[in-house]
Amino acid sequence: MSLTIGFVLFPNLTQLDFTGPLQVMHRTPGATTHILAKTRDPVPSDCGLGLVPTGIFAEAPQLDLICVPGGLSVVEAMQDEETVRFVARQAEHARWVTSVCTGAFVLGSAGVLRGKRATTHWAFTDLLPLVGATHEPGRIVRDGKVITAGGVTSGIDFGLSVVAEVAGPEVAQTIQLGIEYDPAPPFQSGHPSRAPAAVKATADARYAKARETYRAALGG
């Protein structure tokens, strides 16, 4: 089957939110991938890596799957009318409407998450009700055609799940093997439920200001 996939870029996004699922899903048989932004200018990521769009919002085809990555700068994206309008327009007819990390709040600003179960980066899950969503714990949460993934690296799991649905588990597993996705982290601190208390407190403090910025932007 053919599959038209589009990723939404905006300045200072977290590049792994985007490149993780991109690396997985572009390998799907029959997939065509579009990397979309407001203009064709390179888009800076939050780690200094420039990302080059393959197309612009105004010329994008109707997508089968739209994916919005996140990043601490997503507050600007969710207040950008052109970006939000594009996501809302594509979401009407896309088969899957998806996000990774705080990209969920762009979906929320586009009205996509109202009445939906969803997830996002652990530091921001309490803000999901501000866009009409109910937080459901999970690395990947699906509610109808809306699929949201947790923070950053969960985008790889999300990508493999989508491939399994589109092309079957064997294809997804072949891609997983091809990219040698065989996680063996040196520490069991990748989620607040497992991180030591001191580590969690330090990480949580680093997100405190961003949480309040998001909350203000969402009217909470």
Question: pLDDT tens-digit profile of 22-51?
Answer: 999 999 999 999 999 999 999 999 999 999
Domains and CATH numbers, the chain: 3-185 (3.40.50.880)
Q: Which of 3, 65, 68, 101 is catalytic?
A: 101
Please state, for a pLDDT cut of 90, what percent of the chain lies above it. 98
Q: Which residues of 182-205 are buried (b: 16+ CB within 10 A; e: fewer)?
A: eeeeeeeebeeeebeeeebeeeee
Distance CA 71, CA 107 (A): 14
- State residue 1's pLDDT score: 76
Does residue 36 contact residue 9 with C-beta atoms inside 8 Å? yes
Q: What is the mean pLDDT of residues 192-219?
A: 95
67 is catalytic: no
Question: pLDDT tens-digit profile of 146-174?
Answer: 999 999 999 999 999 999 999 999 999 99
Distance CA 98, CA 50 (A): 23
Structure tokens at 194: 């497992």
Residue 220: pLDDT band with limits 50, 70, 90: confident
CB-facing half-sphere around the CA of 163: CA atoms within 13 A: 25
The Cα-based distances of 177 to 160, 172, 180 in angstroms read 11, 9, 5
Q: What is the mean pLDDT of residues 204-211?
A: 95
Arithmetic mean of pLDDT over the chain: 97
Question: pLDDT tens-digit profile of 64-90?
Answer: 999 999 998 999 999 999 999 999 999
- State residue 37's pLDDT score: 98
Helix (H, G, I), strand (E, B) or coil at 130: helix
Q: What is the mean pLDDT of residues 48-70?
A: 97
Q: What is the mean pLDDT of residues 122-137?
A: 97
Which residue, 132, 183, 165, 149, is CA-closest to 69? 149
Q: Taking the mean position of all CA atoms in its chain, how far away is CA 200?
A: 23
Question: pLDDT tens-digit profile of 100-110?
Answer: 999 999 999 99
